[in-house]
Each structure stands twice: as C-alpha cells, then as structure tokens.
Copies of this chain bind each other. A is one copy, B any other.
Amino acid sequence: MLTLKQDHSELVVLSVLSTGPSYGYAISKDIANRSDGHFKLSPSGMYPLLTKLEKSGLVTTSWEEVKAAGADPESTGRRRKWYTLSPKGHKHLSRRIEHHRQVQSILDGFVPQSFPDELANG
C-alpha cells in the first residue's frame, strides 16, 4: 500500500474530478480501484482535503438526498455531498500538472536510471 502525500492526494483528487463530479466516498473507492489498491485516501485525508478545495474555490458543492426505494418518507435519508471542479479548479489543475511534470523531469536528472543493488551485497 502506497500512502499518498497531500500534494499527490490533491493532484489525484482534482484529476478524478476533472472527469466529472463525484463525492468523497466514491472518490476514495475510485482511487483504490484505479490504482489496484496501491493508493489509499482515508476519510481523515479525504474530507479535510475536499473542504480545503471547497474553501479555496477550486470545487463547488451540492448536497443530494439519497433516499432508499422503500424508505420511510419521513426519514432524512443518506446525504451525499457532490464536488464539481470549478473553472478556477480547472486552471489550478492545469498548472499543477505542469508543475508535477517539471518536478518529475528534474528529479529524473538526479535519480540513477540503472541502479544495481548487487553492488551493495558483499
């Protein structure tokens, strides 16, 4: 299991939202599924991040009442908070991707391409 740092979490969440609106639980499942279980974003990582994105205007939100088919009409039902990437968020993601690629590229200049571990044994 590869735990995501916040920087990467934000990049991944924004990327997921760039394909369409979603909500916390679905995003976390999406991340787990699309990474074959390698990436995980727990509730304590997800919700503060989504709140931060909302506060900074990168996403807009709306509540959906998810009522079961045979549910008591008086019941509150389950609430689902949808997150939609705003135009500002779109631009932000664009810059973030560019930044990400640049870091990657420079990093590749330092990390040895081939690194024989065998040298260390003996």
Chain A positions within 8 Å of B, measured between CB atoms, are: 2, 5, 7-8, 11-12, 15-16, 18, 31, 34-36, 38-39, 87-88, 90-91, 93-94, 97, 99-100, 102-104, 106-107, 109-112, 115, 117, 119-121
Contact = CB atoms under 8 A, between A and B. Distances in A.
B11 A106 contact: no
Report the copy number of this chain in the oligomer: 2
A96 to B, nearest CB: 9
B2 A103 contact: yes
Given A2-B102, A7-B5, A97-B115, A34 B90 contact: no
Contacts of A94: 115, 117, 120
7 contacts: A18-B115, A35-B109, A38-B102, A87-B120, A91-B117, A91-B120, A97-B112
Nearest to A106: B35
Contacts of A87: 120-121
A52 B43 CA distance: 30
Contacts of A102: 2, 38
Given A7-B5, A115-B94, A117-B90, A106 B15 contact: no
